Amino acid sequence: MKRVVITGMGTVNPLGNNVDVFWENIKENKNGLSYLKDMKDGNIFDDFEVKVVGAVKDFDCLEYIEKKESKRIDRFTQFAIACSMEALKKSSFNIKDIDPFRAGVIIGCGIGGLELTQQEHAKYLEKGPNRVSVFYVPMMIANMAAGTVAMKTGFKGDNFATVTACSSATHAIGEAFRKIKDGYLDVCLCGGTESCITEFALGGFNNMKALSKSDDVERASIPFDKERSGFVLGEGCGMLLLEEYEHAIARGATIYAEVAGYGATCDAYHMTSPSPDGEAASKAMKIAYEEAGVLPEQVDYINAHGTSTGLNDKYETNAIKLALGAEAATKVKINSTKSMIGHLLGAAGAVEAIATVLQMNNSVLHRTLGYKVYDEECDLDYCVEGNIEKEVNVALSNSLGFGGHNATLCIKSVK
């Protein structure tokens, strides 16, 4: 079996449009959330109960694609192109140095082009079916991010989209890890992308009581806090270049971390609620750290799914205890990057994996923002007092998705 390492990363998210800015803002405990009314055309949201979102700011797709082409590529795909280009640049990777059929692209996306669907549906109702855009379907479908990135890079190996709600990106990284570990690929661009801060999405999520209605950006996304009341809908993208270890060493690549294990399970319990016992989520964690050859007490840090919803945070806490055992669970450091950027749905796991690697490489764990009120059902160490200076050799990154999907990456330091 092959070893798999991370040699490139790229991100666009509410805390920054590249990895370096993202890290500086994480380190400084910046809050990337913003008010819905401040978005473009924000007046259409005046009557919405939801007030706070995790919007990407000042993103210019024309830095990566031509203007004419940009009109035929949905925003979630634009994000994926930008992040893939950054990851490749940071990795100094050249497609000419590899068989293109040994290079893959796997990108998760939970929803796809929902804003475009909303726009074209309005056009359909007003003007009829013949006025629906000829580009609607190829722009909207969730797999188009992976397909378009392949067209931009020339990667001709495995190419597909993972669509598992909020676990989509973590599954994408995990499947890329498997492809390289088992010898099918040498490199793979993988991650997740999402852009659906729309009336449809806000209405749907809000009506199912999933979203925070807080009008305070500092107290809207507050994972593990007793007063948490729902997640904050966000958007963005994270892309990683995974590479076979010997291949990376041979070309002198910078290695940021090693993906050493991957666990995927299903609760088989409920459409939206995690299972109360945490059994399946804990199993995903166990599979990941056992594949990495790690004992539970050797896990230094967990980047939690930590959505700021009542059930998720409680049940994920249960799952961590079950996965590590009571003693190790009380000692492990845990935080939630969603406290800073909101919930990026199908992109969340990739951006959080990047946040995990950045924290490992800098020996600094970021604070879980907004936390004030202790919850006796969430009684682990969530890094709520401030940044923690800590050497991290082994980390887990968790994602839990609607449908009962659980995915965990075990990431090892290479320092």
- Within a domain: 362: yes
The one catalytic residue in 166, 237, 378, 383 is 166
3-state secondary structure 131-163: HCCCCHHHHHCCCHHHHHHHHHHCCCCCEECCC
Residue 204 neighbours by CB under 8 Å, 6+ apart:
none
Mean per-residue pLDDT for 1-24? Answer: 97
Phi and psi torsions of 234, nearest 5°: -125, 180
Among 193, 224, 250, identify where a domain stops: 250
pTM given for the model: 0.97
The one catalytic residue in 171, 247, 343, 366 is 343
Percent of the chain's residues with pLDDT above 90: 92
Render pLDDT for 301-344 as a digit per residue (tens, 0 to 9).
999 999 999 999 999 999 999 999 999 999 999 999 999 999 99
- Within a domain: 415: no
The reply to whether 171 belongs to the active site is no
Considering only CA atoms, which of 276, 277, 286, 287 is closest in space to residue 323? 286
Strands 52-53 and 34-35: antiparallel
CB 60 within 8 A of CB 82: no
CB 218 within 8 A of CB 202: no
CB 51 within 8 A of CB 212: no
The reply to whether 270 belongs to the active site is no
CATH of the domain at 312: 3.40.47.10
CB 352 within 8 A of CB 337: yes
Domain total of the chain: 2
The reply to whether 343 belongs to the active site is yes
Tokens 């904050």 — which residue? 232
| pLDDT at site 272 | 86
Render pLDDT for 175-188 as a digit per residue (tens, 0 to 9).
999 999 999 999 99
Residue spans of beta strands (DSSP E) within 40-173: 52-53, 103-108, 159-160
Residue 42 has pLDDT above 70, yes or no: no
Q: Whole-number mean pLDDT of the chain? A: 96
The one catalytic residue in 171, 188, 247, 305 is 305
226 pLDDT band, cuts 50/70/90, is very high
Which residue segment(s) compose the domain that 52 sits in?
4-250
45 pLDDT band, cuts 50/70/90, is confident
Residue 44 has pLDDT above 90, yes or no: no
Residues 100 and 225 in one domain: yes
Render pLDDT for 121-140 as a digit per residue (tens, 0 to 9).
999 999 999 999 999 999 99
